Amino acid sequence: MSYFDNIKLEKGLYASGNFTKALESLDPAENYKGTSLEGLDAYQRQLKRFGIKVSGSASDAVEKFFKTSDSAVLFPEYVSRAVRQGLEQTDILPGIVASTTVIDGMDYRSITSIPSEEEKELKTVKEGAFIPETSIRTKENLVKLKKRGRSLVASYEAIRYQRLDLFTVTLRQIGAYIARTLLKDAIGVIVSGDSGNAAQVIECETPGTLAYSDLVGFWNGFDPYELNTVIAAPEIMAAMLNMEQFRDAAAGLNFHGKGDMITPLGAKLLKSSAVETGTLIGLDKSAALEMVKAGEVMTEYDKLIDRQLERAVISCTAGFAKIFDGASKVLSV
């Protein structure tokens, strides 16, 4: 049985792309059931081993990570986790992505199925008769993966006395930048498509004016899919919230009291400046978009450990693919 305070930490633990998972293999969580360390993962147990506090008013300074060669190995994981926190706090991708696929390489082909109207209807099959087929095939084009990241530039001397709690705020902001860029990529694929399959654009009855009847018609055009998510440009969001139909007393109490936005026609409403001015995107969240990731948030651990910062790149490589073309549409005001 391995104990967390006897493990030799080395850079090679990052080679698999998942430091915590590699560390867990050396120090399984099951060894700590019924102890005060139950509920902590392998990385958190190592922080406890070296007495490093990364949050709160009593958090340690950055230099605490570099007291020993073993504890220095933990620093890139701290950076990655702080960036992921920022990414998750500002990320609305989970609200529009139907499936997330994590791959080891850079080449990936998604699947597609484009059923005809007749194929969408499950007719009665007589005894011994041929059962209708639905064809699922691999797409001809590869999903385009893009590496998005930020370069962290700072000398160890400049930040060694900086409290980790405050330094985490800066790292979270990097995560927020990555999240916004990934969302922009996702919206680009929804609108323009990934292989000549751009979303259908529906015009409002009166150009330049969004009316409740436009939303009803937009909602009604999704059959057989369900309009359950709407991503709107900020000014379109304001136009919807100011509609009489969305200004009843109960809705107003939720919006003004708790900040819960009114959901038009039962759809979850999201706001993003990544959506083109004067438009809103409607989609069936369960069938519209696939996210493909080449691993999680990556950091250049060599530079963070050996050179003590200086310049290190924090990045995330991901791409998006449409699943069912009819599951997303654009309403142009």
d(CA 282, CA 130): 37
Q: What 3-state DSSP class applies to 102?
A: strand
**279-283 and 289-293 strand pairing:** unpaired
Strands of the chain, DSSP E: 99-102, 111-112, 137-138, 146-155, 200-203, 229-232, 268-271, 279-283, 289-293, 298-299, 309-322, 328-332
Q: Is the pLDDT of residue 252 over 60?
A: no
pTM for the complete prediction? 0.81
Q: Is the pLDDT of residue 52 over 80?
A: yes
d(CA 116, CA 133): 11
Q: How many CB atoms lie within 10 A of CB 80?
A: 23
Residue from 200, 198, 196 nearest 227 by CA: 200
Which residues 6+ apart lie within 8 Å of 307 measured at CB?
Answer: none
Q: Is the pLDDT of residue 268 over 80?
A: yes
Pick from 72-86, 177-191, 244-258, 262-276: least confident: 244-258
Using pLDDT thresholds of 50, 70 and 90, give the confidence band for residue 1: very low
Q: What pLDDT, on a 0 to 100 scale, did the predictor assign at position 83?
A: 92
Which residues 6+ apart lie within 8 Å of 13 measured at CB?
Answer: 19, 22, 23, 73
Q: Is the pLDDT of residue 241 over 50?
A: yes
* Measured distance between the N- and C-terminal CA atoms of the chain, rounded to whole angstroms: 64
Query: 291 versus 136: which is more confidently predicted?
Result: 291
Residues 222-228, mean pLDDT to the nearest whole number: 89
Residues 182-189, mean pLDDT to the nearest whole number: 95
Q: Is the pLDDT of residue 330 over 80?
A: yes
Q: What pLDDT, on a 0 to 100 scale, did the predictor assign at position 41?
A: 93
Q: What pLDDT, on a 0 to 100 scale, did the predictor assign at position 303?
A: 77
Q: What single-letter amino acid sits at 137?
A: R
d(CA 291, CA 307): 34
Q: What pLDDT, on a 0 to 100 scale, did the predictor assign at position 251?
A: 55
Q: What 3-state DSSP class applies to 85?
A: helix
Pick from 18-32, 254-268, 287-301: least confident: 254-268
- CA 303 to centroid of chain Cα atoms: 26
Mean pLDDT across the chain, nearest whole number?
Answer: 85
pLDDT in tens, 274-317: 999 999 999 999 999 999 998 888 888 887 887 666 677 888 99
Q: What pLDDT, on a 0 to 100 scale, did the predictor assign at position 140?
A: 73
d(CA 246, CA 263): 8
Q: Is the pLDDT of residue 133 over 70?
A: no
Pick from 31-45, 94-108, 115-129, 188-202: least confident: 115-129
Residues 239-247, mean pLDDT to the nearest whole number: 82
Query: 73 versus 120: which is more confidently predicted?
Result: 73
Q: Is the pLDDT of residue 21 over 70?
A: yes
